[in-house]
A and B are shown apart, each in its own frame.
Chain A
Amino acid sequence: MNMNMNMNMNMNMNNTKTIINVSRKIGLKEKIYLYALIQGLFITLKWFLRGFFLGKSNTISYPEEKRNYSNRFRGMHFISVDENKVENCTSCYLCQTVCPAKCITIIAEERYRDNDPFHYGVRKEKKPKSFTVDALRCCFCGMCEEACPKDAIKLSRNYELAVQTRAEALYDLKHLTREVIGRG
């Protein structure tokens, strides 16, 4: 009961206070419509002449010109490598665990220092035997990148992800450790 009264009072107060009339009188000039029409026609004519004579346009002719996305753009995955071209990944499974789309599959194995030709300077005990990212499932959220303690998996600025077959969209370790131009 009390609340009802309160609400009523509130509403009353609102009614008296906050009537804002946003409608305005439409003058003769606007009613006739022709004035605004001619104005609009001249705007489009201006743009037409700009395009026709000066050839100006805001188009990016895609295959030849490419849009320069920001550094934070999340595109195709890659795994960063150290100076010996050995992947930084230690197969900690953090990315696989955090991935909301469940698209990372890792099989880990031990990294033998002695037999490894790239052993020098590598202080990682585990390495991925296979590391697969299913780009068709990926939602490019970037959580794998956030989770990785070694800054190994990262998302590049490459946005041209089209492939011919589904199999090509499964990025394996070889594909992921490629040289990435741009970020990283």
Chain B
Amino acid sequence: MIEIASTIAKIIFIFFLCLSSLPLCVWFERRGSAWIQGRKGPNRVGPFGLIQPVADAIKFFFKESFIPTNADKVLYLLAPLLALAAPVAAMISIPFGSYLLFENLGGNDQYKIPLQIVQSDSGILFVLAFAGLEIYPLILAGRASNNKYSILGALRGCSQLISYEIAMGLSILSMVVIYSTFEMNAMISYQQNHLWGVFINPIGALIFWVAGFAETNRLPFDLAEGDSEIVAGYHLEYGAMKFALFFMSEYVAMMMVSAFLVTLFFGGYALLPGMNFCIQYFSATQNTIAIFQFLSLFLKVAFFMFIFIWVRWTLPRFRFDQLMHLGWNILFPLSIINLLLMIVLGYLI
């Protein structure tokens, strides 16, 4: 009973955390891009323009919601839902803290609530499975909306994702070789006890990071959208709230990839240096530690979100053949060599 209640509480917590940080992300994307380009950005609605995303949301709600005449209605409506659901679902097996400790709960003296929605031995596969679903909204939207630009965007997105997921998978595999586990908590405790993954396997981290951009369709690799070439790509025929769902899903996917990257390579919820001191300052109970662990994960993810936005407003879009070249001729062999290197390293340690 308590188990179910705590799981539901955790789901609600993660879901609302993701969704409520979206407006902030959107605001930061717009304001940040303005700062980078020497502009002011949205600064009229609310203090520092912070209420702007709310105004946008209201606008989205009141716009006409249309379905193109020849569109496949079911798939057309399914695509944006799937786009948001897949990255949120992938969040479930990413641990956001070790565990909370409650006393006298449910008949036990001490009751542990692990801060991870699904404690699975194959947590990574779980994340990968849901992250892999992210390609479906692209295909469905492109196919269902009966528009040439959309289908072009969908095709581009597919070939891009395929060419990157191999390199991504191999870099994850190289970390699995090192940690010799599929379980995320075990990975994090390994990193707490030894080194952060990025120091063991910097090339793997770099490959994963680059592939993360492709995975989320962010700017250097946003060929599926490619505004200047194919108008808006796969979500061209979407308007109002349906477009907003696609828009939001991009940020949730960024959060998911950042959280995954942090868990694999940057110690997950392992405390940031200096936080130990803070914990000593308060009280070193398990619950404070868990809160600080959550805070350090949050800060790390926020940092990588910043990098996502920073890179987006720095790099221009890759040409399609350059992207394929990078994916198949550089990252793919590099990740194989890196994997072999890590296997040898694993034997030596």
Known: A41-B311, A45-B310. A61 touches B40 (CB 8 A): yes
A45 to B307, CA, bound (A): 10
Tell me the minimal C-beta distance from B42 to chain A in angstroms.
11
CB <8 Å contact, A51 and B34: yes
Interchain CB contact (< 8 A) of A41 among B34, B39, B40, B310: B310
CB <8 Å contact, A51 and B310: no
Known: A48-B32, A51-B34. A57 touches B39 (CB 8 A): yes
Which residues from A are CB-within-8-Å of B36?
44, 47-48, 51
Q: Does B320 interact with chain A (Cβ within 8 Å)? A: no
A147 to B310, CA, bound (A): 55
Q: Which residues of A contact B (CB under 8 A)?
A: 37, 40-41, 43-45, 47-48, 50-52, 56-59, 61
Known: A57-B40, A59-B40. A47 touches B315 (CB 8 A): no
Known: A48-B32, A50-B35. A40 touches B315 (CB 8 A): yes
Tell me the minimal C-beta distance from A36 to chain B in angstroms.
10
Which residues from B are CB-within-8-Å of A51?
34-36, 38-39
CB <8 Å contact, A56 and B38: yes
CB <8 Å contact, B38 and A44: no
Main secondary structure of the interface of A (DSSP, over half): helix
CB <8 Å contact, A57 and B34: yes
A47 to B40, CA, bound (A): 12
CB <8 Å contact, A48 and B40: no
Q: Does B136 interact with chain A (Cβ within 8 Å)? A: no
A57 to B34, CA, bound (A): 9
CB <8 Å contact, B315 and A52: no
CB <8 Å contact, A58 and B38: yes
Q: Does B130 interact with chain A (Cβ within 8 Å)? A: no
Q: Does B21 interact with chain A (Cβ within 8 Å)? A: no
Q: Does B37 interact with chain A (Cβ within 8 Å)? A: yes
Q: Can you offer 10 A-B residue contacts whose CB atoms are under 8 A?
A: A37-B315, A41-B310, A41-B311, A44-B314, A47-B35, A47-B36, A51-B36, A51-B39, A58-B38, A59-B39
A58 to B36, CA, bound (A): 11
A45 to B36, CA, bound (A): 7
Which residues from A are CB-within-8-Å of B311?
41
